[in-house]
Structure 1
Amino acid sequence: MSLSPPTTHPQAVAARISTRDLARAAWASSLGSALEYYDFALYSLASALVFSPLFFPGNNPATGLVLSFGTYFLGFAIRPLGGIIFGRLGDRLGRKFVLLTTVLLMGGASTLIGVLPTYNGSAADWYGTGAGILAPILLIVLRLMQGLGAGAEMAGASILMTEYAPARRRGFVASLPFLGVQMGTVAAALVYFLLLNTNQAIKITDTWLWRVPFLASVVILGVAIYIRLRLKESPTFAKLERHEQVTERPLRTLINRSGKTVLLGIGLRMAENGGSSIYQALAIAYVSSAAIGMKGPIGALSLVFAAAVGAAVVPLAGWLTDKYGRVRTYRAFAIFQLIAAFPIWYALSFGDTVLTIFVVSIGLGVGTWGMFGAQSALMCELFGSRQRYLGVSVAREGSAVIAGGIAPLIGAWLMSLAVTAEGGSAVHGAGTGAWLPIAGYLALLTAITVAATFAVPETKGRSLEDPRDAIHEEHAAQLQGS
């Protein structure tokens, strides 16, 4: 039997992607996403619940919370730099190389947080004596390492699956790595839920138990590295490399050709990234604060239920983009979040357990993660083949600073003002609590995204090998039609 000569026809390339290759890519992407969002949810929960007394003692609780969320923000602030560094490498050296590097950075940093000395130390701390100012400095360094790795991780995962996926099911298949978000969020929330219920008489910050969730990162890290080492390069990049079409200066190419596309990508993510941080970090701190006064692991439990809802909504949103279009689906979930913002935050202000779990599940699980599921194929299809990794990374992480990282910091400051104004008393319902400005901030971010959807062309079905951005392709089609 004779063998056919090598071919570079797109259909032939697609044919060489077996079901096993597709499944391996899905697992490689999902586990990396799980690790990133395990770290994300873990750090947000720790910022809200344990970092203040461990690393920023001597301050009143409100100030300590602001400082704790300040380190949370730094991880977002450095993500655009990570996106630029690893995005350039992803467009020059390939998707697989970068995905291995980023998962090592994120997982290694998270594991090391679990062995950090604290500020004062305690009998339960294996270092015996505290490290003083060195403790928060080391925490910040490791948070920056997390941010550098995360700056290109989700971009790489979504690009890999989008470039692997068959065109007619691209939206659904590309959404599968985002199930890792739910996996990571549930894992982090369950760990904290169990720890907070281990012994109600002992505070978690008085024991070594707060370290366990961070040390557990090494398990996900090991599995993710094993799978990614066996992963094939994406078909689109392999073809670019074979034809020597890989750009040597992806950043310059991005600036010259894709500036408008990057801005549109940032606009699209304002609602999703901002909503994710606001619900996962700020809402948990809000219901646990003196303003509301809820006790126990209600925040962690809310994230478990929200992630369960999100696990169903994410692939559904991807499927809807294949059926009704990327932009229309994305806009629908954004409008839902906009409409729900004020009712949800008003409901949170009552401090009711069942109501809190329900509204966080709806706000995060349906609104925010619905956009997440619709986003993967849309963002990748917006950019041309030669600057796709860098473009998606910069657009994702630019919004992460503006919308995601700073939201809990601003919200914590607003809460401290509200509690001070009320003399530390609880503020429920339609009182003068912090729920109204927080809801207004979320609505503003979401309105920006809704507006951006009207400036983005529909990308469903476009060729991923086209070096032009979608807006340039649409413009060329309009000129040809006229």
Structure 2
Amino acid sequence: MSEPHRPRRVALAGLIGTTIEWYDFFIYGTAAALVFAPQFFPQVSPVAGTLAALSTFAIGFVARPVGGAVMGHFGDRLGRRRMLVASLLIMGVGTLLIGLLPTYAAIGVAAPVLLVLLRFVQGIGVGGEWGGATLLALEHAPPSKRTLYSSLPQVGLPLGVVLASLVFLVVRLGLDPAAFAAWGWRVPFLLSAVLVVFGLVLRLRLDESPEFEQVRAQTEVRRAPLADVLRTPRVLVPAACLNVLVSGLANVLLVFTLGYVATRQLVGASTMLAVTVVTALVWAGVIPLAAVWAARRGRRPVILVGVAVLTLWAFPYFWLIDTGTVLGTLAACVVAGAGFAVASGPYGAYLAEAFPTAVRYSGASVAYAVGSVLGGALAPIVATVLFAATGTGTAISAYVVVLGLVSLVATLTLRSPHPVTDEPASPAPADAPLERKPA
């Protein structure tokens, strides 16, 4: 393929790879909401079983900073491409083994223990995925396309949700409830093996990042890149808090709401999965539009618009869900999905360029993963506890508003040293905050 098309190929490969990784990650969330409580935690009450299942979902988020730190370290020392291949392999193996895992009825307490271990493996894999895919797209892109190309791996998240939801929906509709609970839930996990092979073929054909190659050529590779990142809390702390709202509300929508509507008998599980698919498609479609908007108007203002929309939507979201109508549920979720997209479109470039090239994989991966723990890991658990205590979604909405205020402050605080816009084309961003000299 000719040189001008290489950045597009890299961005597209990043999109496909992240879609596969997020498919693996979110089929677990769907299964945790629908079937894991009786399959792996039958010895406790339904509420306790649901909390236990959602807690294992959260383990994947807790593991993500570990994956981000380890793969970020080697990504900054050995290269982005190698770590992307490793992350996909780790995720694929973990997901396949979950699909083969015996339940509590077969092996007793070993079943939930192994489930937690494999979920941790999934978290390790995805912890290094986002940073590597975003950086490879960003660092291959021409100056005027950095925001747009780095947004494409973000599209992989909602597309992974679409793929996971569609597979679960087809399996649910094709099997009776007993067969789905007995073995049908395993099909989406086993299908992952085919997708991972496809993703590996794509990634093995990618070139290394030219910006990383420049760092290596100039002997600027850091011995301990994560340590350099940790010494700059003024960058790391707001970077880690930047995405807590999107991560938190997204996992309330994708995980908690499935169980919420089922418990209150508002809409059927299959209908909710279909709503999730529509929402994720809107989310995926708006992300590149938000990136183009940010390239013209500035990344921070667009992120602030997305954060404001989601914060203001916290209460209407549950009001509409509680109507018990398909239209109300669809409206609640689609508006939220559009808000996620607006906040996410410029997010990859804004976060990544807050860190200099030599430590960018470590900084971006750890910040993203820590934000996901603070937002996404805790949100379904907190929402379940608040709903059990109050019986309504009002307290959950208040919690989402708090997350919104955290993201608002972080967005205003983080300084990402890039031009206000991507137009006209400008040189690659300076590596000023942490770099000893330009890379």
TM-score normalised according to structure 1 size: 0.85
Whether contact under 8 Å (1:317, 1:373) holds in the other structure is yes
User: Which residue matches 1:352?
Assistant: 325
Q: Which moved more, 1:322-331 or 1:366-375?
A: 366-375
Whether contact under 8 Å (1:103, 1:224) holds in the other structure is yes
Q: Offset of 1:302 from its aligned partner?
A: 1.6
- Report the Cα distance in structure 2 between the residues aligned to 1:82 and 1:463, rounded to whole angstroms: 31
Q: Aligned to 1:165, which of 141, 152, 157?
A: 141
User: Which residue matches 1:245?
Assistant: 220
- Report the Cα distance in structure 1 between the residues aligned to 2:372 and 2:156, rounded to whole angstroms: 18
Whether contact under 8 Å (1:293, 1:351) holds in the other structure is yes
Residues 188 and 212 of structure 1: CA distance in aligned 2, closer, same or farther (over 3 Å): same
- Report the Cα distance in structure 2 between the residues aligned to 1:308 and 1:137, rounded to whole angstroms: 35
User: Which residue matches 2:13?
Assistant: 28
- Report the Cα distance in structure 1 between the residues aligned to 2:368 and 2:28, rounded to whole angstroms: 19
The one-letter amino acid of 1:282's match is: F
Q: Offset of 1:310 from its aligned partner?
A: 1.1
Q: Offset of 1:307 from its aligned partner?
A: 1.2
User: Which residue matches 2:355?
Assistant: 383
Residues 324 and 465 of structure 1: CA distance in aligned 2, closer, same or farther (over 3 Å): closer
User: Which residue matches 1:146?
Assistant: 122
Q: Aligned to 2:311, which of 334, 338, 346?
A: 338
Whether contact under 8 Å (2:387, 2:396) holds in the other structure is no
User: Which residue matches 2:248?
Assistant: 274
- Report the Cα distance in structure 2 between the residues aligned to 1:261 and 1:326, rounded to whole angstroms: 17
User: Which residue matches 2:52?
Assistant: 67
Q: Deviations over 1:288-343 (max 9, x none)?
A: 11x34533312211210011101211100110110000101110111011111111
Q: Aligned to 1:233, which of 182, 187, 208?
A: 208
- Report the Cα distance in structure 2 between the residues aligned to 1:92 and 1:467, rounded to whole angstroms: 17
Whether contact under 8 Å (1:24, 1:227) holds in the other structure is no
Residues 346 and 252 of structure 1: CA distance in aligned 2, closer, same or farther (over 3 Å): same
Structure 2 residue 28 is the aligned partner of structure 1 residue 43: yes
Q: Offset of 1:246 from its aligned partner?
A: 0.9
Structure 2 residue 275 is the aligned partner of structure 1 residue 302: yes
- Report the Cα distance in structure 2 between the residues aligned to 1:17 and 1:47, rounded to whole angstroms: 45
User: Which residue matches 1:192?
Assistant: 168
Whether contact under 8 Å (2:71, 2:83) holds in the other structure is yes
The one-letter amino acid of 2:92's match is: G
Q: Deviations over 1:360-400 (max 9, x none)?
A: 1211x211122122201111111111111100011111111
User: Which residue matches 2:376?
Assistant: 404
- Report the Cα distance in structure 1 between the residues aligned to 2:397 and 2:25, rounded to whole angstroms: 22
The one-letter amino acid of 1:454's match is: L
- Report the Cα distance in structure 2 between the residues aligned to 1:251 and 1:201, rounded to whole angstroms: 48
- Report the Cα distance in structure 2 between the residues aligned to 1:464 and 1:165, rounded to whole angstroms: 10
Root-mean-square deviation over aligned CA pairs: 2.0
* Counterparts of residues 244-263 of structure 1 (less than 5 Å): 244-256=219-231, 258-263=232-237
Q: Offset of 1:58 from its aligned partner?
A: 2.5
User: Which residue matches 1:7?
Assistant: none
Structure 2 residue 430 is the aligned partner of structure 1 residue 466: yes
User: Which residue matches 1:319?
Assistant: 292
Whether contact under 8 Å (1:182, 1:310) holds in the other structure is yes
- Report the Cα distance in structure 2 between the residues aligned to 1:469 and 1:222, rounded to whole angstroms: 39
Q: Offset of 1:471 from its aligned partner?
A: 12
Based on CA coordinates, which of the two structures has the bigger radius of gyration?
1
Q: Offset of 1:144 from its aligned partner?
A: 0.4
Classify the secondary structure of the residue corresponding to 1:283. helix
Q: Offset of 1:114 from its aligned partner?
A: 0.7
User: Which residue matches 2:100?
Assistant: 115
Percent identical among aligned pairs is: 31
Classify the secondary structure of the residue corresponding to 2:345. helix
- Report the Cα distance in structure 2 between the residues aligned to 1:194 and 1:38, rounded to whole angstroms: 15
The one-letter amino acid of 1:467's match is: D
Whether contact under 8 Å (1:457, 1:471) holds in the other structure is no
- Report the Cα distance in structure 2 between the residues aligned to 1:448 and 1:454, rounded to whole angstroms: 10
Q: Deviations over 1:195-239 (max 9, x none)?
A: 221245645213x21110001111221111101111100010011
User: Which residue matches 2:108?
Assistant: 132
The one-letter amino acid of 2:433's match is: D
Q: Aligned to 1:438, which of 383, 386, 396?
A: 396
Structure 2 residue 204 is the aligned partner of structure 1 residue 219: no
Residues 360 and 47 of structure 1: CA distance in aligned 2, closer, same or farther (over 3 Å): same
Q: Deviations over 1:135-163 (max 9, x none)?
A: 11111111000011111211111111111
Residues 329 and 287 of structure 1: CA distance in aligned 2, closer, same or farther (over 3 Å): same
Residues 17 and 239 of structure 1: CA distance in aligned 2, closer, same or farther (over 3 Å): farther
Q: Which moved more, 1:171-180 or 1:42-51?
A: 171-180
- Report the Cα distance in structure 2 between the residues aligned to 1:279 and 1:211, rounded to whole angstroms: 23
User: Which residue matches 2:412?
Assistant: 454
Whether contact under 8 Å (1:457, 1:470) holds in the other structure is no
- Report the Cα distance in structure 1 between the residues aligned to 2:36 and 2:428, rounded to whole angstroms: 44
The one-letter amino acid of 1:305's match is: V
Number of aligned residue pairs: give it: 431
User: Which residue matches 1:8?
Assistant: none
- Report the Cα distance in structure 2 between the residues aligned to 1:232 and 1:298, rounded to whole angstroms: 42
Residues 369 and 250 of structure 1: CA distance in aligned 2, closer, same or farther (over 3 Å): same
The one-letter amino acid of 2:249's match is: G
Structure 2 residue 68 is the aligned partner of structure 1 residue 83: yes
The unaligned stretches of length 5 or more in structure 1 are 1-15, 121-129, 419-432, 474-482
Residues 288 and 472 of structure 1: CA distance in aligned 2, closer, same or farther (over 3 Å): farther
Q: Deviations over 1:25-69 (max 9, x none)?
A: 123211221122212321111111010111111322211100000
The one-letter amino acid of 1:209's match is: G
- Report the Cα distance in structure 2 between the residues aligned to 1:64 and 1:464, rounded to whole angstroms: 51
Whether contact under 8 Å (1:292, 1:349) holds in the other structure is no
Structure 2 residue 158 is the aligned partner of structure 1 residue 182: yes
Whether contact under 8 Å (1:301, 1:357) holds in the other structure is no
* Counterparts of residues 3-22 of structure 1 (less than 5 Å): 18-22=3-7
User: Which residue matches 1:127?
Assistant: none
- Report the Cα distance in structure 1 between the residues aligned to 2:45 and 2:97, rounded to whole angstroms: 27
Whether contact under 8 Å (1:292, 1:350) holds in the other structure is no
- Report the Cα distance in structure 2 between the residues aligned to 1:463 and 1:336, rounded to whole angstroms: 33
